[in-house]
Amino acid sequence: MAFKIGNLTIENQIILAPMAGVSNSPFRILTRQYGAGLVFAEMVSDKGLLYENDKTKKLLYMTDIEKPMAQQIFGSDLITMVKAAKYIDEHSNCDIIDINMGCPVPKVAIKAQAGASLMKNPDLIYHIVNEIVKTVSKPVTVKIRSGWDHQSINAVDVAKRIEQAGASAITVHARTRSQGYGGHADLDVIKAVKQAVNIPVIGNGDVTDGPSAKHMLDYTGCDAVMIGRGALGNPWIFREIHQYLKDGTIIPRPTHQEIQEMMLKHLDSLVELKGEHVAVLEMRSHGPWYLKGIDHASELRKQLSTARTKEEFKVYVEAFFNAHP
């Protein structure tokens, strides 16, 4: 089912989450090809953009094939966040500007007082969102958590402020910052946010297949589901969820040959974008994710963790799958 974020029509209810080191252009293209209705780029630092940091600016790279696409920014300073959003509005090919108010990692949430740390300051959230909305031409969305910890679950109040500030949609990761990625997502929080606001609500947390996606949509009434860790090494998840939501069919898992082909395709596209050295380093993470649930793959995981060249990576992968067709 299609829904709208601002004037932008999103063709279905399945969305790729912004994940650092993962949601880059090659992976976004893969997930769009397998049915993601909208993809989020990995977050960029407001100050990194303003200081013209090369590494940060490279993260803005995107192609038309990936659209519709959202670019996420993080920071905690009102002035620099507005300037960074304006920079993205003017220099990025994205369709949506998303503000990160949910990242739990200490470097962001504690050291930079950004990400999930903003959940402790609803007034600042309102002002950041409101000023960005007034400054940019693209729709503005916000990704939040349930709250900072279990004593301060305030997603509903924060969501109301975000809507009042003019945002076009809200994503709710239904865990607190103190939970990190542990425990279970609390779907009642997403449900409460959906009932409290009139803009689209995207649910995030523990969606790993068709049945869990349908359960979140049905139980919470949210407009779409966001897939994060469930997509690691598994771009097929978007196809699987799309089919399940359509008619209840559970598509068989990809064959070993499909997995082998996807790993090498992913490697090739990363090499094209980032060069061989960086691509192989990134595939040291992606490779083991693709192998999850495959018997006898422990040796290949070790080999991939030491691969230094594209050719070495390919030799390891092809030898394993030839032995385990």
CATH of the domain at 146: 3.20.20.70
CATH of the domain at 274: 1.10.1200.80
Q: Are residues 38 and 182 in the same domain?
A: yes
Tell me the CA distances in angstroms from 2 to 13, 15, 38, 181, 238, one per residue in order.
Answer: 7, 12, 11, 29, 15
Q: Are residues 64 and 33 in the same domain?
A: yes
119 within 8 A of 178, measured Cβ to Cβ? no
List all residues 6 or more positions away from 250 whose beta carbon is below 8 Å from its beta carbon. 210, 240, 243, 244
What are φ and ψ of residue 85, in 5° steps? -65, -40
Q: Are residues 213 and 112 in the same domain?
A: yes
Beta strands, E only, 162-273? 169-176, 201-204, 224-227
175 within 8 A of 119, measured Cβ to Cβ? no
80 within 8 A of 50, measured Cβ to Cβ? yes
Question: Span 118-134, mean pLDDT?
Answer: 96
Q: Are residues 230 and 275 in the same domain?
A: no
The pLDDT tens digits for 268-307 are 999 999 999 999 999 999 999 999 999 999 999 999 999 9
Q: Are residues 295 and 193 in the same domain?
A: no
Strand 3-5 to 38-40 pairing: unpaired
What DSSP state is assigned to residue 117? G
Mean pLDDT taken over the chain? 95
Cis peptide preceding 325, ω within 30 of 0: no
Q: Are residues 110 and 40 in the same domain?
A: yes
User: Is the pLDDT assigned to residue 226 strictly greater than 90?
Assistant: yes
Rounded distance between C-alpha atoms, residue 38 and residue 36, angstroms: 6
Residue among 104, 80, 318, 70 nearest 205 (CA): 104
Q: Are residues 53 and 158 in the same domain?
A: yes
Helix residue spans in the chain (DSSP H) = 25-33, 46-50, 54-58, 78-91, 106, 122-135, 155-164, 187-196, 210-220, 237-247, 256-274, 276-290, 298-304, 310-323
Domain that holds residue 278: 256-323
Q: Around 225, how many Cα atoms within 13 Å sit in the side-chain half-sphere?
A: 31
Rounded distance between C-alpha atoms, residue 101 and residue 165, angstroms: 15
**Which pTM does this prediction carry?**
0.95
Q: Are residues 140 and 239 in the same domain?
A: yes
The pLDDT score that the predictor gives to residue 46 is 95
Q: Name the pLDDT band for 75 (thresholds 50, 70, 90).
A: very high
Q: Which residue type sits at 313?
A: F
The pLDDT score that the predictor gives to residue 314 is 97
Q: Are residues 140 and 285 in the same domain?
A: no
The pLDDT score that the predictor gives to residue 105 is 86
Q: Are residues 209 and 136 in the same domain?
A: yes
Tell me the CA distances in angstroms from 183 to 19, 178, 206, one per residue in order.
Answer: 19, 10, 10
Residue among 43, 24, 63 nearest 274 (CA): 24
User: Is the pLDDT assigned to residue 259 strictly greater than 90?
Assistant: yes
List all residues 6 or more positions away from 232 whose beta carbon is below 8 Å from its beta carbon. 19, 22, 286, 289
Q: Name the pLDDT band for 102 (thresholds 50, 70, 90).
A: confident
Please tell me whether residue 171 adopts helix, strand or coil conformation: strand
Q: Name the pLDDT band for 113 (thresholds 50, 70, 90).
A: confident
Question: Span 104-125, mean pLDDT?
Answer: 89
Q: Are residues 186 and 290 in the same domain?
A: no
Q: How many CB atoms are closer than 10 A to CB 2?
A: 10
From 26-30, 105-109, 261-265, the region with the lowest mean pLDDT: 105-109
Question: Span 151-165, mean pLDDT?
Answer: 97
Number of domains the chain is built from: 2
Q: Is 222 a catalytic residue?
A: no
The pLDDT tens digits for 11-60 are 999 999 999 989 999 999 999 999 999 999 999 999 999 998 999 999 99
The pLDDT score that the predictor gives to residue 180 is 86
User: Is the pLDDT assigned to residue 74 strictly greater than 90?
Assistant: yes
Catalytic, out of 69, 103, 197, 279: 103
Rounded distance between C-alpha atoms, residue 306 and residue 290, angstroms: 16
Please give the torsion angle defined by the CA atoms of residues 13, 18, 21 and 25, in that order, rounded to the nearest 10 degrees.
60
Strand 8-10 to 3-5 pairing: antiparallel
Query: Which of 219, 247, 275 is the last residue in one of the domains?
Result: 247
Instruction: State what percent of residues in the chain have pLDDT above 90.
Output: 92
∠ at Cα 216 (123, 224), nearest 5°?
Answer: 65
Site of tokens 């992606």: 286
Rounded distance between C-alpha atoms, residue 79 and residue 132, angstroms: 10
The pLDDT tens digits for 166-187 are 999 999 999 998 898 888 999 9
Query: Which of 247, 272, 297 is the last residue in one of the domains?
Result: 247
Query: Which of 184, 218, 247 is the last residue in one of the domains?
Result: 247
Question: Span 222-240, mean pLDDT?
Answer: 97
Q: Are residues 136 and 194 in the same domain?
A: yes
